[in-house]
Copies of this chain bind each other. A is one copy, B any other.
C-alpha cells in the first residue's frame, strides 16, 4: 500500500525528505490566528481595513474553530503571509494543492 507513496518520496531530494520528516515531527512554532496577528504587529483595526471588513468581524473570526479554507487564506494573506495545507503521514508529508488557485 505504501509503495506508490514511497515512489513519490523517492523523487524528493534527500534534504526535502529530511525536512518533510522534521515538519511531521512538529518542529514549527504553533499559535492561534490572534497570536499570529499580534506577532506580525497588526491591530484588529488594521487587519480589518486590509480585508475591507469591520473590526468586530476580525474578533469573531479569531475565535472560530472552523472556517472555509478560502476565508482562512484571505485572512493570512491580509497579514502578508501565504497559507499552506499539509497532510503528514508517518512515512512523509505532502502539500495539498486543490485549493491553491483560489482568487
Contact = CB atoms under 8 A, between A and B. Distances in A.
A101 to B, nearest CB: 6
Given A66-B102, A102-B66, A8 B39 contact: yes
A87 B96 contact: no
A79 interface: yes
Interface string A39-79: 11110000000000000000000101111111010001001
14 contacts: A2-B40, A8-B39, A19-B27, A20-B29, A23-B28, A31-B97, A32-B97, A65-B102, A66-B70, A67-B68, A69-B69, A81-B87, A82-B87, A84-B87
Interface of A: 1-5, 8-9, 11-13, 15-16, 19-20, 22-24, 26-33, 36, 38-42, 62, 64-70, 72, 76, 79-90, 92-102
